[in-house]
Chains A and B, each alone.
Chain A
Amino acid sequence: MSITAKDPEKRPLLALVDQADPPDVAAYERGGGFRGLRRVLSGLSPAELIEEVKNSRLRGRGGAGFNTGLKWSFVPKDSAKDRRKYLVANGDEMEPGTFKDRLLVEGNPLQLIEGMIISAYAIQASHGVIFLRGEYHLGLERVRRALAQAEAAGYLGKNILGSGFDFELIAHPSGGRYICGEETALITALEGRRANPRTKPPFPQVSGLWGAPTVVNNIETFCNVPHIVANGVEWYLGLSACEDGGTKLYGVSGRAKRPGVYELPLGTRMGVLLNECAGGMQDGYKLRAFLPGGASTAFLGAEHADITLDYPTPEKAGSRLGTGLAILLDDRASPIGMLRNLEHFFAQESCGWCTPCRDGLPWVEKLLIEIDEGRGRPEDIDRLEDAARMIGPMGRTFCAHAPGAIAPLESGLKLFRRDFERAVGLKHGVAA
């Protein structure tokens, strides 16, 4: 069987995904949907549920890769009835080169909803929000339809499936800012404010939306939850090709033959993703380097073309798994142009709160424009390196936005040194 064919046993996340015609409640149930929720509500305690998810080694699929069960365990244990608590799905998929959550919300919103109900039960959340990026009009429409269907079928609202558990879930379209993908910024956006990130601590699990305990997880993360609960931890761990559990939505964009999203065992090799799933590079293009998991991950050179895409290996190579959707730099595109494009994005999307990000990134962009357009000076490379050194390390900026912007820059300056030197009129580091 092809590794891209539908298979609920091996590729549960995409098994029922149909972008043309997503399953309704009946079709979703026929495909095994709500089995997990029924199991949870028929006698599992929140603590047992959290333990199960912890043991499944499900790690956050939004990019940071934190153990999901562990994150939930930081939430105060009061019952949903006694205290307002929030569960939020982060569907603000704005990381350039990332298009997996769109597939999940457009193709099978009920899977997300079931995942959220189960997760809500785990943390005893009373209220939930699906935060969707504003451009996902189709996704929003389908999520809202699915919410109505789920509520009509008794899966949402008061006394779900007669269990006594209440959960109110709504969808919220974003006004559109990349920073809303940062969990504290997302919470701030939901409060109708400028979505500048917030200080941690307090962590959202303790004081989040409207000051109440709040858990924010990525859409893909939630979509894993029903399968873990329905099929068990052992099964889930078995899906993976590495220590952490489950499958992962990997993807490729750029000059591949078949760019797209592919559900593969977590820890699949890049070679499998690029060559077997995406059909390799388009004819006439060669892979020069790639960003393994979105715009804010560091470049890996072609020598890493078969790297294992688990959490630790890319880190050892100087990058991150990130969102798991790789962006391919081919040999005919200008790496400086690509960096210019990336830094333009990060400079534009800076929220304007802290200095290094707000004022440092536009300078980086301006330098890249100069170099890209042939007006660069040798010292501009030093300036870019200074910027990388100054902005890159965590803690220099208020949030991770600017370090994310520096990841491709810093790695790109090393990897494409010759291109830069040529562009500013240097030969082997000395003036030509």
Chain B
Amino acid sequence: MAKITIDGRVVEARDGGNLLQACLEAGTDLPYFCWHPELGSVGACRQCAVKQYANADDKRGRIVMACMTPVTEGAILSVDDPEAKEFRGEVVEWLMTNHPHDCPVCEEGGECHLQDMTVMTGHRERRFRFDKRTHRNQDLGPFVKHEMNRCIACYRCVRFYKDYAGGEDLGVFAQHNNVYFGRQESGTLESPFAGNLIEVCPTGVFTDKPFSRMYSRKWDMRGAPSVCTHCSVGCSTILNERAGKVRRTLNRYNDEVNRYFLCDRGRFGNDFVNAPSRLRAAGYVMDGRMTPVPPAQALTRFAEIAADGPIFGVMSGRASVESNLALRRLVGEALAGEANVSTGWAEPLHGATMRAVELLRSTPARVATLQEIEHSDGLLILGEDVDATAPRLALAAYQTQRNAFNKLADANRIPHWLEAPVRTLGAETLAPLYIATPAPVALDKAATLSVRALPDDIARLGFAIANCIDPAAPGVSGLGEDETQRAAVIADALLAAERPVIVSGTQYASVALIEAAANIAAALAAKGKAAGLSLVLPEANAAGIALLGGMSLDALLEKARAGQVGTLVVLERDLARQMPQAGFDALLGAVRHLVVIDHSVTPTAERGELVLPATAVSECGGTMVSMEGRAQRFLQVVYPEAPLQVGWRWLRDMAEAAGIQAEIGWQTLDQATEAVAAEAPVFAAIREAAPEAGFMLEGEHIRSQTSRVSGRTAIRANISVHDIPPPFSPDTPLASDMEGSYAVDMPGALVPFYRVPGWNSEQSLNKFQQEIGGRMRGGDSGVRLFPGEVSAGGYVGAVPTRADGRGQTGGEAACLVLPAYEVFGSDETSMASEPVKQRAGEPVVRIGGHGASGVAVLEIGGDRAEVAVTVDPALPEGVIFCPPYRVIPGFATPAWGSLRMVEAEAVA
């Protein structure tokens, strides 16, 4: 730490930082636009001007840009200096010469960094009396709205989109005060991280298009901390609500996980909670038609059903651990021993996921956080298209190039935050990133080496790498010369790295792949490396389910076929996505009663005898366990009307109604969480995921609305003009209204919105952090449940045989069909969100070779569908890459199938 003087006050500043950071960390309000904690300093906006003095005798000083000036021991500066202040005011005045001042109709109004900085500089009076330059806007697709006239040319958008996220279709055009930020022509932004432009843009050029359609001012919305349920990464979010509707999703800073950015699936996928497909009433389903019934009647019906033989349950990867535990309790079994409960996954996904979680818990390596992946100097992605299955992780992986750039910067004694020179030095440098996948992935362009092979061969490569690193790890016989050499190259790179991380996952439901990845991490650990292991799981709470344990759907089907299942209670899961049609039909046909608890209508719910409406993630509280083993609490932002209630309350009520001694007598979420904690040692820490409902800050609950929220009575004047008491829930520590406390050091898990006086935009985040880009003052959100009991570092697994005998295994004319996950399309709930559905478009099957594209009939094990086919020479021949779930609903893991062209497109 260096000691610097800011306006006569001596403060500590981080060595190697810049003066803007130092000022902000010292609590000084210094306005800025182009600087961003993750995008560094570029000196474009000239807003953060301060006066710097050479020494104590220097009375004149000179104006410097704080963001471009390194912290030096004994530096003396003044933020309040009149000349510096005047200049900062003038900078805003310049920016305002072309800014339209359309705040009243601008979506950014009220949370606009430009507004805040304008007020901060004290610029009030317009002296510019000339016409403003105007631009034409572009249609940038379903997510992001474009209003170029508002642009202040801070260049943040292109720096995020191109430099940080690797996007190629957003650019800056023209020159002088006519610079234009947009696409070469109108069209959907291609990057799956485009939504971050909304938060990155300091004003209203890029705004949230779906939000704009049901817009509300920031101060008029309730906020609550939430967790993204659209993949297993578990990004922290904030949901905003007004008048019972979720309006939008924002990033919530979580130091070790998503930090400043989300993917678009997470940001725009939550509209499913407002979708017409929501279940709003309990009901009986007869011949595909649901008859709504009062909840009491539904429960009575359940009691009747429950008497008809054993109850089995199917757990949910998108419901909380609490609800899943309630299901286990209902079906009457404990964690150990044979449970009447299924994970909800069929083989081979079930086995792969269970194995993945087991290995994460026992690996002698670290379970890598997203931040560790980002800072890795040797990253291997083994057989997982993380761009699609865990997009935010892919964005972290893309940042590994930064580590290579930083090394060059160190050699040239350039601070890492000095963005442009660091990127210039790195222009020809690739990331320390190694990728092995069956098909090209977006990350390839940054990778030092990309290997194309089928999953089993990738697993073999992985085992070979582990064996290269530590000969004690099982070796692979029959490797080709190429493979041996590649294994050696990658092994050397990982050994040379200080922070190697291995990423794999369950995309191909391959136990071998996962074991190979674990072995590499173990081998590196055996060599004394601080190695990390990261395994992408199939669902948001997959780790939570796996820790609770259960049988596969195949095992359940067997029991059902044997007539052992009286009632099947399916909790928040669509079984049609997990099994082929025949299996699905067989299972539902073999159980006597089907009870479905879910928040939306699914093909499974349509087959239910009794359907109970559950709350969605926005309407209840609960805990999810991410792929990092991080237990994270989401809190309700909506106070739903009966009969909607959280899954575990339905299960509790069902147990009660049916007279089942299930020990689910929980009245509050805290009691439910407590039960989870007591369930098994691995869950013991789960209480710490977030403070309990009784949590008070300064003697009050934290408020979830701003002190300026308006229309509390008017908003429901069409129903009644009387003020109604604010809604209450025993499951959240947040007060549902504007009454309550709020402070920058509130627990990170409870942050309902970011705002401090003078900082109405999300940029106020810097006030909530211990240091910029560091931990939250009030502690970070969530708690790690594993690694738990570390194994002795032994190696695991059986090396698979070569993957090329496919023709024989699959039978005549059969091809291997691999699940080609999509950012938009493969996730269940986000596809009920209109903007995501629009963005996803129609599914396309891709095959290698050189023939004509067209339409074909795809057949997998008796399921068939007509689908558009694109021929892509970059893909291996003889393999069908099929988007999971969308073409054949039950297809999501490698299978054998055939493709018959029915209509070839005329070749242009």
Do A's and B's CB atoms come within 8 Å in the complex?
A: yes
The answer, yes or no, to whether B424 is at the interface (CB within 8 Å) is yes
Question: Please, could you name 22 A-B residue pairs with CB atoms under 8 Å apart, sorted by A?
Answer: A201-B414, A202-B421, A207-B412, A211-B408, A211-B427, A349-B176, A351-B176, A352-B153, A354-B46, A355-B45, A355-B46, A355-B152, A358-B153, A358-B177, A360-B90, A362-B97, A363-B97, A363-B128, A396-B63, A397-B46, A398-B44, A398-B46
Chain B residues in 8 Å Cβ range of A353: 44, 155
With A352-B153, A355-B153, A395-B64 already in contact, the answer to whether A362 and B176 are too (CB < 8 A) is: yes
How many whole Å from A347's CB to the nearest CB in chain B?
Answer: 6
Q: Determine whether the beta carbon of A210 is less than 8 Å from that of B421.
A: no
Whether the pair A211, B425 counts as a contact (CB closer than 8 A) is yes
Contact A207 B421 (CB under 8 A): yes
* A-B complex: 8 closest residue pairs judged by Cβ atoms: A359-B94, A352-B179, A350-B176, A366-B130, A390-B90, A355-B46, A352-B175, A358-B177
A139 contacts which chain B residues (CB < 8 A)? Answer: none
A356 CB-CB contact with B under 8 Å? yes
Known: A202-B414, A207-B425, A396-B49. A362 touches B177 (CB 8 A): yes
Tell me, yes or no, whether A383 is within 8 Å of chain B by CB: yes
* One of A211, A355, A360, A390 near B44 (C-beta < 8 A): A355
Contact with B175, one of A177, A360, A396 (Cβ below 8 angstroms): A177
- The reply to whether the CB of B98 lies closer than 8 angstroms to some CB of chain A is yes
A386 at interface by CB-CB < 8 Å: yes
User: CB-CB < 8 A to B127: which residues of A?
Assistant: 379, 383
B28 within 8 A of A: no
Contact A396 B87 (CB under 8 A): yes
Q: Are B176 and A356 in contact (CB under 8 A)?
A: no
Q: For B419, give the chain A residue with the smallest CB separation.
A: A199
Contacts of B62 in A (CB 8 A): 395
A window 174-229: CB within 8 A of B:
177, 191, 194, 198-199, 201-202, 206-207, 210-211
- Give chain B's interface secondary structure class: mixed
A348 within 8 A of B: yes
Q: Is the CB of A211 within 8 A of B177?
A: no
Q: Is B428 an interface residue (CB 8 A)?
A: yes
Chain A residue total in the interface (Cβ 8 A)? 36
Would you call A393 an interface residue if the criterion is a C-beta within 8 Å of the partner chain's C-beta atoms?
A: yes
A359 and B44 contact, Cβ closer than 8 Å, known pairs A350-B176, A383-B127, A390-B87: no
Question: Which residues of chain A are within 8 angstroms of B130 by Cβ–Cβ distance?
Answer: 363, 366
Known: A350-B176, A363-B130, A396-B46. A355 touches B94 (CB 8 A): yes
What count of chain B residues pass the 8 Å CB interface test?
43
Contact B427 A355 (CB under 8 A): no
B91 at the interface (CB under 8 A from A): yes
Q: Is the CB of B91 within 8 A of A356?
A: yes
Query: In the complex where A177-B175, A353-B44, A355-B46 touch, is A363 in contact with B94 (Cβ < 8 A)?
Result: yes
Judge whether B904 is part of the interface by a CB distance below 8 angstroms: no
Q: Please pick, from B86, B87, B172, B420, the residue contacting A198 in the complex, using a CB distance under 8 A.
A: B420
Q: CA–CA, A269 to B98, complex, Å?
A: 46
Cα–Cα distance between A198 and B127 once the two chains are bound (Å): 32
Do B49 and A355 touch (CB < 8 A)?
A: no
Taken together as a complex, chains A and B put the C-alpha atoms of A383 and B97 apart, in Å, by: 13
Contacts A211-B424, A355-B153 given: A199-B47 contact, CB under 8 Å?
A: no
Q: Which of A354-413 contact B (CB under 8 A)?
A: 354-356, 358-360, 362-363, 366, 379, 383, 386, 390, 393, 395-398
Contact between chains at A356 and B46 (CB < 8 Å): yes
Per-position contact with B for A272-289: 1 when CB-CB < 8 Å, else 0? 000000000000000000
Given contacts A352-B179, A355-B91, A358-B153, contact A194 B172 (CB under 8 A): yes
**Interchain nearest-CB distance for A230 vs B (Å):** 37
- Find chain B residues with CB under 8 A from A207 CB: 412, 421, 424-425
- Interface-centre pick from B172, B418, B421 (highest chain A CB count, 10 A): B421
Contact with A along B80-93 (1 / 0, CB 8 A): 00000011001100
For residue B47, which residues in chain A have a CB less than 8 angstroms away from its CB? 355
Return chain B residues, CB-CB under 8 Å to A194.
172, 175
A residues in contact with B174, CB < 8 Å? 352
Contact A356 B428 (CB under 8 A): no
Most buried by B among A177, A351, A395: A395
In this assembly, does B95 line the interface, its C-beta being within 8 Å of a C-beta of chain A?
A: yes
Distance to closest chain A CB from B732 (angstroms): 44
- A397 CA to B63 CA, complexed, in Å: 10
- Which chain B residues lie closer than 8 Å to A177 at the CB level? 175
- Which residues of chain B from 25 to 57 have a CB within 8 Å of any chain A CB? 42-47, 49
Task: Chain A residues near B90: list those with CB within 8 A.
Answer: 356, 360, 386, 390
Q: How far is the CA of A359 from the CA of B133 in the complex (A)?
A: 11
Q: A199-B418, A396-B87 are in contact. Are A351 and B175 (CB under 8 A)?
A: yes
Residues on A with beta carbons closer than 8 Å to the beta carbon of B838: none
A206 to B411, CA, bound (A): 12
Contact in complex: A210, B49 (CB < 8 Å)? no
Task: Kindly list chain B residues whose C-beta atoms are within 8 Å of the C-beta of A351.
Answer: 175-176
In the complex, whether B791 has a CB less than 8 A from a CB of chain A is no
Answer yes or no: B178 CB below 8 A from chain A CBs: yes
Whether A354 contacts B97 in the complex (CB less than 8 A), given A211-B425, A362-B177, comes out as: no
Asked if B43 and A199 make an inter-chain contact with CB atoms under 8 angstroms apart, the answer reads yes
Contacts of A198 in B (CB 8 A): 420-421, 424
Minimum C-beta distance from A379 to chain B (A):
8
User: Please, which residues of chain B bring their CB within 8 A of the CB of A358?
Assistant: 94, 153, 176-177, 179
Choose among A206, A363, A396 the residue that contacts B412 (Cβ–Cβ < 8 A): A206
Least CB distance from A382 to B in Å reads 9
Contacts of B46 in A (CB 8 A): 354-356, 396-398
On chain B, the residues within 8 Å of A350 by CB distance are 175-177
| A residues 305-360 touching B (CB-CB < 8 Å) | 347-356, 358-360
B466 within 8 A of A: no
Tell me, rounded to whole Å, the shortest Cβ–Cβ distance linking B375 to chain A: 23
List B contacts of A201 (CB < 8 A): 414, 421
CB-nearest residue of chain B to A390: B90
Q: Which residue of A lies closest to B173 (CB)?
A: A194
Q: How far is the CA of A217 from the CA of B570 in the complex (A)?
A: 76
Residues of A within 8 A of B425 (CB): 207, 211
Against A, the Cβ 8 Å flags (1 = close, 0 = not) of B159-177 are: 0000000000000101111
Is B502 an interface residue when CB atoms closer than 8 A count as contact?
no
Closest Cβ–Cβ distance, residue A184 to chain B (whole Å): 10
The answer for the CA separation of A366 and B129 in the assembled complex, in Å, is 9
B421 surroundings in chain A (CB, below 8 A): 198-199, 201-202, 207
- Report the Cα distance A354→B128, complex, angstroms: 19
A354–B48 CA distance with the chains assembled, in angstroms: 12
Question: Whole-angstrom distance from the CB of A406 to the nearest CB of chain B?
Answer: 13
Task: A210-B427, A397-B46 are known; give 18 further A-B pairs, CB within 8 A.
Answer: A177-B175, A194-B172, A201-B421, A347-B177, A352-B179, A353-B44, A354-B44, A356-B90, A356-B94, A359-B95, A360-B90, A363-B94, A390-B90, A393-B63, A395-B63, A395-B65, A398-B43, A398-B44
Q: A192: shortest Cβ distance to chain B, in Å?
A: 11
Q: Do B45 and A347 have beta carbons less than 8 Å apart? A: no
Interface string of A141-160 (1 = CB under 8 A from B): 00000000000000000000
A347 touches B95 (CB 8 A): no
Chain B 396-417 against A: per-residue CB contact (8 Å), 1 yes, 0 no?
A: 0000000000001000101000
Residue B68 at the chain A interface, CB threshold 8 Å: yes
- A362: which B residues are within 8 A, CB to CB? 97, 176-177
Beyond A359-B95, A362-B97, whether A352 also contacts B424 by CB under 8 A is: no
C-alpha spacing A393/B420, complex, angstroms: 24
Bound: A396/B87 CA distance, A? 9
The complex places the Cα of A406 from the Cα of B128 at a distance, in Å, of: 19
Mark interface residues in B567-610 (1 if CB within 8 Å of A CB, else 0).
00000000000000000000000000000000000000000000
Tell me the residues in window 431-451 of chain B with beta carbons closer than 8 Å to chain A beta carbons: none
Q: Which of chain B's residues have a CB closer than 8 A to the CB of A383?
A: 127
**Closest residue of chain B to A366, judged by CB?**
B130
Query: Nearest B residue to A177 by beta-carbon distance?
Result: B175
B428 to chain A, nearest CB (A): 7
Please name all residues of chain A whose beta carbon is closer than 8 Å to the beta carbon of B179 when the two chains form the complex.
352, 358
